[in-house]
Amino acid sequence: MTPDPAARRYQYRLGLAMPAVSIFLTIIGLAALPLPLPFGILPDFPLLFLLVWGVLQPRLLPLWLALLLGIIADTAEGLPIGVQTLVFPLVILMTGAMLLRFQSRSHLVDWISAALVIGLATFLEWQLMAFLRQPTALLPLALQAATTILAFPLAVSACLGIEKRLRRWAD
Amino acid sequence: MRRLQPPASGRSHRPGYARRDSNLALFGALFSGVVLLVAILLLLLQRADPTRFGAFRATMTDALAPVTSLARAPIDALRFTGGGLARGWQAIEHNRQLEKELIAARRKARQMPEMQREIERLQALLRLHRPERVLVATGVASSVAPSGATRSAIVSVGREAGVTPRMPAIAPEGLAGRITDTGARASRIMLLSDSMSRVPVLVARTGWAGLAQGTGAALVFVFDVASERDQLLPGDRLVTSGDGGLFPPGIPVGRIVDPRHNPPRIAPAANPESLGIVMIEKAWMEPLATDIPARGTSPTAARPPVDRPPVDRPPADKPPTPPPAAAP
């Protein structure tokens, strides 16, 4: 517990920014990582973190922030502007709909719902690339979607860990 | 029992908090719609004119380059240490192999001056004008974006060093790709395995021409051979042919690893995971049309036809390659 109100305010603001900061760091981190596999497919961690934070702390990830993060993701990954810029806000809307639909969820239901959202987001990305006259093969995107779905529990535990620390920090 | 009275005016009698929630929900829905409209507008602008966000992308590339370099520093340090240890471990064997290669190279080198003189004499007779390769800048490829949709890397030189989009990027081991976006001090390279990458190549052993085509996941060789008896062999080297005028001829592109696969797979000569130092050269032959924009341009207007054929065109559309010519 911090006695200084100014420090507490600072910590509170930092806590509010944490979801966006963690997504930004995954975007930068992925851009900096070398390719570890022959296919070069890593889980789409920015999308995964966006999805998990959208479920855990929907108020901290408004739509406009998802739009900004999407623009950053597009430029960092070398995609044409508009792909993740549109996919990210739609993912937030989908997670909002998921939250309304499944009030009492189990981890398995969460995972299946996340797989559905990831699949839809990947399909949309594929279609948008074609729309922007840069058609890309479906196989690498499908592989990336599969690894992203498999990595869902990892992202959940990471985000829960961050959230737990933030709560402890705020108390 | 008291009867409910109708409201005196037409105004709603909902509690204040309910009305506020309803207004907030309405405002939220409107705001969501506006955000989505902005995203769709950006998408349509990008489709209408792929070069529209060039300046913004360049600024972002500049901003991201130092951050990604910093994030990659520990990985590079680990790789350097690991590579050093591995080289030390295999030093004796490696040394023996190099000695053998040196003896063979010396034997070949003795014949070279005569051959070179003969080539120069024939070129003089033909009055052949061969374009020169021009080095523009040398930088370090500091990151590789492992997105499912693109294969690209960031290199530490940009417009200030004279780098412009479409220039070939060549690593010490072979061709790395070409420049697509340029910032002031950093640029983006489209790697060979990107699904939009097409490089005209020759098989060094036979002289067959074809395209080294990225699929987004791998690099494959798309070609058309007249005779069914002629077959590719594992280990066949592919070099740039110079067709299309972008890449200079004779640059190693890769070697065939799986000739039976349809289309045959290529192992790139320059490992995209560790490009290291990269040379940026001028396009070997300047195109007649000068407005060649960055990645994301219309296939019909963007690049020379050989460099980037339509994606859905079957390889059989290419005219059959004439009988083997001398590889460069």
What pLDDT, on a 0 to 100 scale, did the predictor assign at position B323?
A: 43
Cross-strand pairs, B152: B145, B190
> Shortest Cα distance from B102 to chain A (angstroms)?
32
| Nearest-by-Cβ selection for A30 from B32, B70, B146 | B146
What pLDDT, on a 0 to 100 scale, did the predictor assign at position A110?
A: 84
What pLDDT, on a 0 to 100 scale, did the predictor assign at position B318?
A: 43
Place of tokens 């010396």: B106
Best of A25, A28, A33 to mutate (most B CBs within 10 Å, chain B): A33
Interchain contact B271–A (C-beta under 8 A): no
Interchain contact A100–B (C-beta under 8 A): no
What pLDDT, on a 0 to 100 scale, did the predictor assign at position B225?
A: 64
Q: Answer positive or negative: Cα dihedral of A151, A157, A163, A169.
A: negative
Radius of gyration of chain A (CA): 17
Cβ <8 Å between B146 and A42: yes
Interchain contact A59–B (C-beta under 8 A): no
Cα A9 to Cα A72: distance, rounded to the nearest angstrom: 28
Which one-letter amino acid corresponds to residue B229?
A: R
Interchain contact B36–A (C-beta under 8 A): yes
What pLDDT, on a 0 to 100 scale, did the predictor assign at position A9?
A: 67
Cα dihedral: A61, A67, A69, A71 (round 10): 180
| List of chain B residues whose C-beta atoms are within 8 Å of the C-beta of residue A66 | 35
| Nearest-by-Cβ selection for A28 from B45, B67, B196 | B67
**Greatest Cα-to-Cα distance within chain A, rounded to the nearest angstrom:** 57
| Nearest-by-Cβ selection for A133 from B61, B195, B299 | B299
Query: Residues B253, B212: contact at Cβ < 8 Å?
Result: yes
CA geometry: angle B257, B258, B259, nearest 5 deg: 110
pLDDT tens digits along B146-177: 677 788 888 888 888 999 988 999 998 999 99
| Nearest-by-Cβ selection for A79 from B32, B64, B149 | B149
Per-residue pLDDT 10s for chain B (328 aa) are 444 455 555 555 566 677 777 777 788 788 888 999 999 999 999 888 887 887 888 887 787 777 777 766 777 777 777 777 877 788 888 888 899 989 988 888 888 888 888 888 888 888 877 778 889 999 888 766 667 778 888 888 888 899 998 899 999 899 999 998 888 888 889 999 888 889 999 998 888 888 998 887 778 888 876 556 668 888 899 999 988 888 999 999 999 998 888 888 999 998 877 788 899 999 888 766 555 454 544 444 334 444 444 434 344 444 444 444 444 3
- Other CB atoms within a 10 A radius of the CB of residue A94 amount to 19
Best of B32, B45, B70, B147 to mutate (most A CBs within 10 Å, chain A): B147
Q: Answer positive or negative: Cα dihedral of B308, B314, B315, B316.
A: negative
pLDDT tens digits along A60-102: 888 899 999 999 888 888 888 889 999 999 999 988 887 776 6
Q: Which two tokens stand for residue B43?
A: 């998408």
- Residue B9 vs residues B5, B13, B14, B17, B35: alpha-carbon distances, Å: 11, 10, 13, 20, 38
Cα B271 to Cα B254: distance, rounded to the nearest angstrom: 10
What pLDDT, on a 0 to 100 scale, did the predictor assign at position A56?
A: 84
What pLDDT, on a 0 to 100 scale, did the predictor assign at position A8?
A: 66
Is it the case that residue A59 has pLDDT exceeding 90?
Answer: no
| Closest chain A residue by Cα to residue B301 | A133
Cα B237 to Cα B253: distance, rounded to the nearest angstrom: 8
What pLDDT, on a 0 to 100 scale, did the predictor assign at position B178?
A: 93
Cβ <8 Å between A75 and B61: yes
Place of tokens 């995972």: A111
What pLDDT, on a 0 to 100 scale, did the predictor assign at position B324?
A: 44
Cα B286 to Cα B132: distance, rounded to the nearest angstrom: 11
Query: Residues B34, A84: contact at Cβ < 8 Å?
Result: no
Cβ <8 Å between A125 and B149: yes
| List of chain A residues whose C-beta atoms are within 8 Å of the C-beta of residue B147 | 30, 44, 77-79, 144
Q: Answer positive or negative: Cα dihedral of B99, B101, B102, B104.
A: positive
Cα dihedral: A60, A63, A67, A68 (round 10): -40
Cα A166 to Cα A57: distance, rounded to the nearest angstrom: 12
Q: Count Cβ atoms within 10 A of the Cβ of residue A135 and give its class: 0-12 exposed, 13-18 middle, 19 or more buried.
A: middle
Cα dihedral: B275, A22, B187, B291 (round 10): 130
What pLDDT, on a 0 to 100 scale, did the predictor assign at position A10?
A: 65
| Nearest-by-Cβ selection for B217 from A39, A85, A129 | A39
Best of A61, A79, A87 to mutate (most B CBs within 10 Å, chain B): A79
Of B157, B137, B154, give the one whose Cα is nearest residue B72. Answer: B154
Place of tokens 């098989």: B203
Query: Residues B158, B184: contact at Cβ < 8 Å?
Result: yes
Cβ <8 Å between B46 and A80: yes
Q: Count Cβ atoms within 10 A of the Cβ of residue A134 and give its class: 0-12 exposed, 13-18 middle, 19 or more buried.
A: buried
Interchain contact B35–A (C-beta under 8 A): yes
Cβ <8 Å between B217 and A140: yes
> Shortest Cα distance from B5 to chain A (angstroms)?
37
Number of A to B CB contacts under 8 A, please give it.
178
DSSP notation for B14-50: --HHHHHHHHHHHHHHHHHHHHHHHHHHHHHHHHH-T
> Shortest Cα distance from B302 to chain A (angstroms)?
11
